[in-house]
A and B are shown apart, each in its own frame.
Chain A
Amino acid sequence: MRVSTVTISEVTFAADLSGALFWEEQRLLVVSDLHLEKGSSFAARGVLLPPYDTLATLSRLAAAISRHDPRTVIALGDSFHDRTAHERLSSDNRDAVAALQTGRDWIWISGNHDPMLPSDLGGAVADEVAIGPITFRHEPTGACGEIAGHLHPKARVSARGRFMERRCFASDGMRAVMPAFGAYAGGLNIRDVAFAKIFPKNGFIAHLLGDRRVHAIAASRCS
């Protein structure tokens, strides 16, 4: 399989089709915005979405982990859809999280949806993590070397009356915003003004998650 890469501050990451980034030298895997238990969060408000989103998200995460066998996993914030979401985790899913954590370091970075992460989930909790030139935090600030999430970038490419819309990494080589990993996490079009604030000049590249590979397309080419 062809490996697609995203370079941030001269560090090269492998872009996984699932929406994860892998830093080979550090054996570090990053995923963002898992939004676990989003389904049950809506159910509590009367919208009975299928209760399989947590299972679906964790299965994809397990597959990404087994592909790369990372030493460290960073969950880049909004891992849980709301403050009490972790209490609604089924015991099976709780066990699945524990299994994923076995034999590796696990860092939960807190996000706006899950600012108060409990300690009984395994792994460490942090607001941000810096490794070499790279800083991992949930909400993007536009700083150099920053890898963030929060915005759920997606991009749309149109041609001849057809269009494809996919989640994507957004990066200009100095900083990146990761796609949401969660099964029910929606997306924000990269043409939204929120992205222009983070990538100030010369535009940026959208790395779209295709079916078989990641496609790098100029943001200005997307619609």
Chain B
Amino acid sequence: MSDCSAARRGGQHPSTKPPSRLTCHGVTRRILKPRAETPALLPERFNAWFAARGWSPRTHQLALLEKAREDRSALLIAPTGAGKTLAGFLPTLVELSLQPIERETSEKKSLVSTGRSVQRSGGLHTLYISPLKALAVDIARNLERPIAEMGLPIKVETRTGDTPVSRRQRQRRYPPDVLLTTPEQLALLLSSDDAPFLFASLKRIVLDELHALVTSKRGDLLSLGLARLWRLAPQMRAIGLSATVAEPDQLARFLVPQPDGKETAADIVVAGGAAPPEVEMLDTRERLPWAGHSARHALPEIYELIKANKTTLVFVNTRSQAEMLFQNLWSMNDDGLAIALHHGSLDVSQRRKVEDAMSAGKLRGVVCTSSLDLGVDWGDVDLVVNIGAPKGSSRLMQRIGRANHRLDEASRAVLVPANRFEVLECHVAIDAIAENAQDTPPLRKGGLDVLAQHVLGCACGEPFLSDDLYAEVRTAAPYADLSRPDFDDVVDFVASGGYALKTYERFARIKQDKEGRWRVANPKVRQSYRMNVGTIVEDDMLKVRLVRSRGGGHGKAGGSTGVIARGGRLLGEIEEAFIEGLSPGDTFVFSGEVVRYETLVEDQVYVSRAHDKDPKVPSYMGGKFPLSTYLAERVRRLLDDARAWRGLPEQVRDWLSLQKDVSSVPAVRELLVESFPRANKHYIVCYPFEGRLAHQTLGMLLTRRLERARARPLGFVANEYAVAIWALGDLSSMIRNGRIDLNALFDPDMLGDDLEAWLAESALMKRTFRNCAIISGLITRRHTGEEKSRRQVLFSTDLVYDVLRKHQADHVLLRAARADAATGLLDLRRLSDMLMRIHGRITHRELDRVSPLAVPVMLEIGRESVYGEAADELLAEAADELVKEAMDRSG
């Protein structure tokens, strides 16, 4: 069944919220008024169509029609399977169907040459924006049916990166009524000379999966595109389609122009009535692992679940987990169940094949990653299995919603924790779902790097005045608070780099004319903008090929003269960042087997089959999303409330009780720090529960401080729940005799100088800066007319970062990178909140051995990457090997 379905007649109709007036942020908004009769909302042609299919329109579908009639923008919040897309398009279909006569005349969309300028008439009626181009294509297909069956004179087309140039040109001259596209393509269209013609007639914009779009820089880009559209087409109204979010009022702001200094929001329509999901945790018969993410212990049980249901979606958090699980399931697939694999690194055509088999009902199970979090509905999924940590309650609810093809039936889901801490996380996630508690992140503050890209795009179209563009940009919700100095800095950056040293005026990319209007300096700038539009900076991927080993002992790398047979079977692609951390001879899991890293030539990684059972280097790089603040809080509350442990599996209860006996269980607001010796080293383990990213940053900063306290730290490891640091110095006695003051060690002032000093060399910060440099257009992903071999580096953004930081620390790009660091890879904001929370509330337990709670993170040592300050130590270690080798040889 397609996403354009409506409720079956006679079924339970979802109801909207009761009529009321809600006041928030001082703005009064109308919530849907129920209407006794609605025939006028839906023309006869449509009623007949619904009836012929045995359907009747759903309440929220009619509600959106009413919003359209009242000329209001609206945010529809609806679960998957609620006929969201049809609801979004109904106003457009109805409007276009009602204007046949008027349209007859405007049908003559024409291109008339009048000498130099071209005169045209007729533009778009409706734009549809989706985060996935595949989704746009599917929606187009699904729209064709009602249009054909009702005989509506409506032309629908898609425009994505895959659309041939000829069709794109035609679309700009003879636009369809409805165009389905992506945020990037919208930006491109807006930067073209045709924009005023294309969009002046626009009546409506439909933004699909809005909850997903607004959490990234793509949302920033889209918001700026919207601001431009409001100026080109003031009559345009927006419809946002979204899953349930924590702050719908904030999301609704995205859809309407923000007036100066005030907040205003679109009306909200909630499609209610979905049955609450049935979620349970797998009550495993096996022993629960202490650590790890593979859930290997539960494999037979997962297989049984697939076997017992019609179609099961098995979600995991990373690509490598997906690979591993898929291999393992097939190794026990005695019944020959049709089980498929779906993740982002697979070839597009292969993914589409899986999706098609799925819609055709041919599959019993699909192992997938967040690659299937979004997209069209697949009908007959009757069970969702989520392996590992749920990370966040909203995220989990959206996944579970994938198993919901009928609103009046409950979605069913089974959570499979892969270790003991994940049991706690799953437990609180189930509670959160029962309360329908949402934890989607707050609306982003728009990035200055994205703004820079937009400013350049604007200059590629019609010339603009700074005052006008500043006012326009601030109508976009994420940029409503943008200051004028920030805006001016961005324009200055786009023009000549924004440097205090004004030496690049003659190289300016955009220039002001006599009236002060900015325009691009030359056509090459425009071309370069077009080739680099967008905010997705992909990881550099390398091809992995399997070759025969050149022999050599364990871990022994061949010399630079080593020759390896080229060619070899292509296994797939892997992140360059992962390979960079390997030495030749290191082993890791790829595509379901343990392989040995041999060498890297150009963009090809050569590996050989290793016969080791366990890889030396873990390829689990952690999920993309850290544990949500909300679930973390609930986990801490659960730990603090021993009575609530009754709901936990016995193994976990025993584990926590033992912890209580030998150490202590952290209270909600406090931070537990344990110290203990182990194998000639001294450890401290703390439990902030703030997610891996914030913990990595914390670990870096703590190691720095311990180094200064002469505790001689050697390294640390961080997971979602805890940080463990080990040192040569006797940490316990240092804490005892006051040489280490824990309150001072965890003082929030570590976010001052220590952080600054660390940021100077942090690889994560440099990567953040690189992303900003690419998005802002400082450097380009693709050059015009230049095909550089990918490994031929012209300059390194790391070097640019170093120089800029030293000579103009307040440069707009560094400001953009710091803003990203607050929420991105370094998660500084969360770390800062935590340090404030626990300040003066540290409980220290001096132990003689590792505590039960510490076991999981201690087990990660050697599995997770080890971090440490000490670049020199790492190099010195390698240098010592040379000395040893020399000694051995002489000895």
Q: A67 near B: Cβ within 8 Å?
A: no
Is there a chain B Cβ closer than 8 Å to A196's Cβ?
yes
The proximity string for A residues 184-197 relative to B, scoring 1 for CB distances below 8 Å and 0 otherwise, is 11110011010110
Of residues 3 to 59 in A, which have CB atoms within 8 Å of B's CB atoms?
Answer: 38, 40, 42-44, 46-53, 55-56
Residues on the A chain within 8 Å of B137, using CB: none
User: Max chain A CB contacts within 10 Å: which of B525, B528, B871, B879?
Assistant: B879
| A163-189 at interface with B (beta carbon < 8 Å) | 163-164, 166, 183-187
Within 8 A of A (CB), among B773-808: 778-780, 793-796, 799-800, 802-804, 806-808
Chain B 565-605: CB-based contact to A (< 8 A → 1; otherwise 0): 00000000000000011111010000000000000100000
Q: Name B736-765 residues within 8 Å CB distance of A.
A: none
A76 at the interface (CB under 8 A from B): no
Binary flags per residue of A154-170, CB closer than 8 Å to B gives 1, else 0: 00111111111010000
A63 part of interface (Cβ distance < 8 Å): no
A216 within 8 A of B: yes
**Selected interface stretch from A103-111, A121-129, A132-140, A205-213:** A205-213
A160 CB contacts on chain B under 8 angstroms = 617, 862, 865-866
Find out whether the CB atom of B875 lies under 8 angstroms from the CB atom of A50.
no
B69 within 8 A of A: no
- Whether the Cβ atoms of A48 and B778 lie closer than 8 Å is yes
Q: A49-B800, A50-B499, A50-B803 are in contact. Are A44 and B871 (CB under 8 A)?
A: no
Contacting A159 at CB < 8 Å: which of B496, B525, B583, B600? Answer: B583
B contact residues around A161 at 8 Å (CB): 581-582, 617-618, 864-866
Minimum C-beta distance from B291 to chain A (A): 16
- What's the minimum C-beta distance from A207 to chain B, rounded to whole angstroms? 10
Q: A40-B503, A158-B582, A162-B867 are in contact. Are A203 and B559 (CB under 8 A)?
A: yes
With both beta carbons as reference points, the residue of chain B lying nearest to A50 in the complex is identified as B804
Contact check, A43 vs B865: say whether CB atoms are below 8 A apart: no
A166-B802 contact given A51-B504, A216-B882, CB 8 Å threshold: no
List A contacts of B496 (CB < 8 A).
48
B798 to chain A, nearest CB (A): 9
Query: When the two chains form their complex, are residues B865 and A48 in contact, meaning their CB atoms are under 8 A apart?
Result: no
A100 at the interface (CB under 8 A from B): no
- Does B558 interact with chain A (Cβ within 8 Å)? yes
Residue of A nearest to B581 (CB): A161
A141 within 8 A of B: no
Distance in angstroms between the alpha carbons of A52 and B525 in the assembled complex: 23
Q: Are A164 and B507 in contact (CB under 8 A)?
A: no
Question: How distant is B886 from chain A, measured CB to nearest CB, in Å?
Answer: 9
B148 at the interface (CB under 8 A from A): no
Residues of B244-258 whose CB lies within 8 A of A: none
Q: Are A158 and B581 in contact (CB under 8 A)?
A: yes
Pairwise interchain contact B807-A50, C-beta atoms closer than 8 A: yes
Tell me if B240 is interfacial: C-beta within 8 Å of chain A: no
| Docked pose: A104 CA to B586 CA in angstroms | 51
Query: Is there contact, CB below 8 Å, between A164 and B800?
Result: no
Residue A74, interface by CB 8 Å:
no
Assembly CA distance A43 to B882 (angstroms): 43
Interface hits, B505-546 → A, CB 8 Å: 507, 509, 524-525, 528
Q: Point out the residues of chain A lying under 8 angstroms from B558, CB to CB.
A: 220
Looking across the interface, which residue of chain B has its beta carbon closest to that of A201? Answer: B561
Write the chain A residue with the least CB distance to B862: A160
Would A56 and B806 be within 8 Å (CB), given that A157-B875, A159-B878, A160-B865 are in contact? yes
Instruction: For the complex formed, measure the closest distance between the CB of B566 and the CB atoms of chain A, giving whole angstroms.
Output: 14
* Interface check A113, CB cutoff 8 A: no
Q: Does A51 lie within 8 Å of B865, measured CB to CB?
A: no
B876 at the interface (CB under 8 A from A): yes
CA distance A196 to B563 in the complex (A): 12
Q: Is A68 an interface residue (CB 8 A)?
A: no
Does B650 sit at the interface, judged by CB under 8 A?
A: no
Q: Does A85 contact B (CB under 8 A)?
A: no
Question: Contact: A51 with B528, CB < 8 Å?
Answer: no
If the complex has contacts A159-B874, A210-B872, A217-B875, are A50 and B811 also in contact, measured as CB distance less than 8 A? yes
Contacts of B881 in A (CB 8 A): 217, 221
Question: Residue A98 at the B interface, CB < 8 A?
Answer: no
B101 at the interface (CB under 8 A from A): no
Contact, CB under 8 Å: A50 / B561: no
B557: CB under 8 A from chain A?
yes
* Contacting residue for B795 out of A38, A52, A158, CB 8 A: A38
Distance, CA A193 to CA B791, complexed state (A): 14
Among B600, B804, B874, residue most surrounded by chain A Cβ atoms (within 10 Å) = B874
Cα A56 to Cα B804 with chains together (Å): 10
B560 with A186: CB separation less than 8 A: no
Contact A186-B806, Cβ < 8 Å, known A162-B867, A210-B875, A218-B882: no
Q: Determine if A219 is an interface residue (Cβ-Cβ < 8 Å).
A: yes
Chain B residues with CB under 8 Å of A90's CB are 503
Contacts of A217 in B (CB 8 A): 875, 878-879, 881-882
B875 touches A208 (CB 8 A): yes
Task: Determine if B501 and A215 form an interchain contact, defined as CB atoms under 8 angstroms apart.
Answer: no
Q: How far is the CA of A209 from the CA of B399 in the complex (A)?
A: 49
Kindly list chain B residues whose C-beta atoms are within 8 Å of the C-beta of A193.
560
The residue among A44, A50, A158, A215 with the most chain B CB atoms within 10 A of its own CB is: A50
B560 touches A164 (CB 8 A): no
Contacts of A40 in B (CB 8 A): 503-504
Report yes or no: B559 in contact with A46, Cβ–Cβ below 8 A. no
- For B868, the chain A residues whose CB sits under 8 A away are 162
Find the B residue at minimum CB distance from A48.
Answer: B497
Chain B residues lying within 8 Å of A212, measured Cβ to Cβ, are 872
User: What's the nearest-Cβ distance from chain A to residue B309, in Å?
Assistant: 39
Q: Does B885 have its Cβ within 8 Å of any Cβ on chain A?
A: yes
Q: Is B875 in contact with A203, judged by CB distance below 8 angstroms? A: no
Q: A53 — nearest CB in chain B belongs to which residue?
A: B803
Residue from the list B525, B581, B882 in contact with A163, Cβ < 8 A: B581
A44 in complex: contacting residue of B507, B524, B866, CB < 8 Å: B507
- How distant is the Cα of A52 from the Cα of B814 in the complex, in angstroms? 15
Cβ 8 A contact of B807, one of A42, A52, A156, A157: A52
Q: Is B102 an interface residue (CB 8 A)?
A: no
Q: Which of B606-661 contact A (CB under 8 A)?
A: 617-618
Whether B582 lies near A162 (C-beta < 8 A) is no
Contact with A along B846-880 (1 / 0, CB 8 A): 00000000000000001011111001101111110
Inter-chain CA distance A43–B875, complex, in Å, is 36
Residue of B nearest to A202 (CB): B559
**Of the candidates B581, B582, B800, which one forms a contact with A184 in the assembled complex, judged by CB atoms under 8 Å apart?**
B800
Decide: B794 and A43 in contact? CB cutoff 8 A.
no
Most-contacted residue by chain B among A185, A211, A212 (CB, 10 A): A211
A212-B436 Cα distance, complex, nearest whole Å: 55
Complex: chain B residue closest to A192, CB-CB: B560
Please, which residue of chain A has its CB at the minimum distance from the CB of B869? A211
In the bound assembly, the distance between CA atoms of A191 and B561 in angstroms comes to 9
Return chain A residues, CB-CB under 8 Å to B864: 161
A46 and B874 in contact, given A216-B879, A218-B882 (Cβ under 8 angstroms): no
Select which of A50, A185, A205, A210 is within 8 A of B497 by beta carbon. Answer: A50
The CA-CA distance from A93 to B391 in the complex, in Å, is: 54
CA distance A52 to B618 in the complex (A): 41
Q: Give the chain A neighbours of B865 by CB distance below 8 A.
A: 160-162
Among A44, A46, A195: residue with most chain B CB under 10 A: A46
Nearest Cβ in chain A — how far from B491, in angstroms?
A: 13
| A–B complex contacts, Cβ < 8 Å, 14 sampled | A46-B524, A46-B525, A47-B779, A48-B507, A50-B800, A50-B807, A52-B808, A56-B807, A160-B617, A161-B581, A164-B874, A184-B799, A210-B871, A217-B878
Q: Which 5 A-B pairs have the closest CB atoms?
A: A48-B497, A161-B865, A52-B807, A215-B875, A158-B583
The interface of chain A, by Cβ under 8 A from chain B, is 38, 40, 42-44, 46-53, 55-56, 90, 156-164, 166, 183-187, 190-191, 193, 195-196, 203, 205, 208, 210-213, 215-221, 223
Chain B residues at the A interface, C-beta cutoff of 8 Å: 496-497, 499, 501, 503-504, 507, 509, 524-525, 528, 557-561, 580-584, 586, 600, 617-618, 778-780, 793-796, 799-800, 802-804, 806-808, 811, 862, 864-868, 871-872, 874-879, 881-882, 885
